[in-house]
A and B are shown apart, each in its own frame.
Chain A
Amino acid sequence: NAGVTQTPKFQVLKTGQSMTLQCAQDMNHEYMSWYRQDPGMGLRLIHYSVGAGITDQGEVPNGYNVSRSTTEDFPLRLLSAAPSQTSVYFCASSIDQNTEAFFGQGTRLTVV
Chain B
Amino acid sequence: AQTVTQSQPEMSVQEAETVTLSCTYDTSESNYYLFWYKQPPSRQMILVIRQEAYKQQNATENRFSVNFQKAAKSFSLKISDSQLGDTAMYFCASAYNTDKLIFGTGTRLQVFP
Contacts and interface: CB of A to CB of B under 8 A. Distances in A.
Contact of A90 (B33, B45, B93, B105): B45
A92 B43 CA distance: 14
A101 B98 contact: yes
A40 B33 contact: no
Contacts of A105: 42-44
Contacts, number: 62
Interface in A44-92: 44-45, 48-50, 58, 88, 90, 92
B97 A97 contact: yes
B98 A43 contact: no
A99 interface: yes
A42 B105 contact: yes
B interface secondary structure, majority: loop
A98 B43 contact: no
B44 A97 contact: no
Nearest to A107: B43
Contacts of B33: 98
Interface in B27-64: 33, 42-45, 47, 50
A101 B99 contact: yes
Interface string B90-102: 0101000111111
A98 B99 CA distance: 8
Given A97-B99, A106-B44, 4 more contacts: A33-B100, A40-B105, A58-B100, A94-B99
